[in-house]
Chain A
Amino acid sequence: MTTYIVAVGSYYEPVGDELPPLKKLVQETVGSNIRRVGRFIQLALIGGGRASSQLSNEAAVYLTSGSGDVEATVGVLNTIYRQAEPPRPLSFINTVSNAACFYIAQSLQLNGASSFVSSRYFTVETSLRVALLALEQGQQKAALVGAVDSVVLPIEEHRQRLRINAQTDVAEGSHWFQLVADASDRTVLATLDAVQHFTDREALSAWLAELPVEADDCLALGQSIESDEADHWLVETGLPPFNFREAPAYFKSLAGLVFCEFVRRGAGRLIYLNRDPVGRYMAVVISC
């Protein structure tokens, strides 16, 4: 069976020394002012809201993040250890990352399943895989899948926290996909053909060898693949790389931006590969 991408929604903004306010954007996107939420939840509401056109109220929500709601957690840690006070109730509640799912469900009036899922090196891939399998197995009919990463200033501390070097440009990102099993009354943007896990490089190579190549295929490689390995995969697959108009700034769930960009271009098939440090791999295939 086929799983369709019928909407994408995104927020992407490189960050300098200041963070743009989001409250107004949230209000414009979901139609009401949501109080008692921080930046992470605001980003989730903006991205999720932008992908929510004609969304079924039974749709499941799968949210992921590379770093989670750092602002909320750091805030609580500072209240406890620097101010020596118990955390405020509202701050503590928002450290439970499913808080973002709650506000999405509440503002989009959803009552289906809702999960925060993640994997350290395969953030976006894992959320798409869990959602795709739930749709393929008939447990869900529609899903809103998104990846959110925020920046907590000062920017030097953000880089230090994420262990990236001082020259790296950083961004905030919230990228969402509306998936449906039955697209009969919808405009289809793309199909999510596969999200596969591989125990090692040989397993991935064997799978790629079996994958029939089409004329307009292109290859995208994940954040954990170094440049020399990237060259290897370009040669092995013989596919042209998927290129951005300009190189995006760093955030952990960058794959979300790659997939949104590809779907928006609306042509061809994307084969995306990523790995983790122990040499497990994942592949995502999207056709427009």
Chain B
Amino acid sequence: MNNVLSLTQLKQALKLMIIEECDKDVEIDDILDDEILFDGALELDSLDALQICMAVKSNYGVRIEGGPDARKALQSITTLAQTIIEHRV
């Protein structure tokens, strides 16, 4: 499988997941890969963070533990995708 393509697909899927899980009124293309997810233009909060972690676990089987690890993983779509790829079994 082409790794570059699958990473792009994963990022698209994550954007869609965030839009649906957090009930955001934006389009997939409105979210940039390296945009800051929290305390940024997207206006996501700590409850959204928990929601996203649960959805990642449900959809990808990857558990994002709380604390600094979660903050790092949830920085942007890119870091979230990297975390999933690194931990996926």
Contact = CB atoms under 8 A, between A and B. Distances in A.
B6 interface: no
B47 A88 contact: no
Contacts of A36: 22-23, 47
B24 interface: yes
Given A89-B47, A93-B47, A35 B54 contact: no
Contact of A89 (B23, B54, B58): B54
Contacts of B50: 89
A88 B25 CA distance: 19
B43 to A, nearest CB: 9
Interface in A21-48: 33, 35-37
A90 B51 contact: yes
B54 A88 contact: yes
Contacts, number: 26
Interface in B32-72: 47-48, 50-51, 54-55, 58
Interface residues of A, number: 10
B22 A35 contact: yes
B62 to A, nearest CB: 14
A85 interface: yes
B55 A88 contact: yes
B79 to A, nearest CB: 21
Interface SS of A by simple majority: loop
Contacts of A35: 22-25
A75 B15 CA distance: 23
A112 interface: no
A85 B58 contact: yes
Contact of B51 (A33, A85, A89): A89
Nearest to A83: B58
A86 B25 contact: no
Name the residue among B47, B48, B54 with the largest chain A CB count within 10 angstroms: B54
Contacts of A88: 21, 51, 54-55
A15 B47 CA distance: 33
Interface in A78-114: 85-86, 88-90, 93
Contacts of B25: 33, 35
Nearest to A35: B23
A93 B24 CA distance: 17
B9 to A, nearest CB: 23
A88 B47 CA distance: 10
A35 B48 CA distance: 11
14 contacts: A33-B25, A35-B22, A35-B23, A35-B25, A36-B23, A36-B47, A37-B23, A86-B54, A89-B47, A89-B54, A90-B21, A90-B22, A90-B47, A93-B47
